[in-house]
Amino acid sequence: MTLGSWDPETAEATTSFSIDSQQLHQFIELAQNDQLDNLSEQLNETQIQQQAALMQLPEPDWLTACDPLTSNELIALIRFFTVAENLPGWQCGEKSPVIWLTRMIKKRGEKLDKELLLWIRTHSNNRFLPYGSL
CA distance 31 to 124: 15
Residue type, 74: L
Below-70 pLDDT ranges, the chain: 1-15, 134
pTM of the model: 0.87
Tell the burial category of 122 from Cβ atoms under 10 Å away from its Cβ (0-12, 13-18, 19+): exposed
| Residue 13 confidence (pLDDT) | 45
- pLDDT (tens digit per residue) in 61-92: 999 999 999 999 999 999 999 999 999 999 99
Taking alpha carbons only, the member of 18, 21, 19, 123 closest to residue 81 is: 123
Question: In the chain, which ranges are continuous DSSP H helix?
Answer: 8-14, 21-32, 39-42, 45-51, 59-66, 71-84, 97-107, 114-123
CA-atom Rg of the chain in angstroms: 14
| Residue 133 confidence (pLDDT) | 83
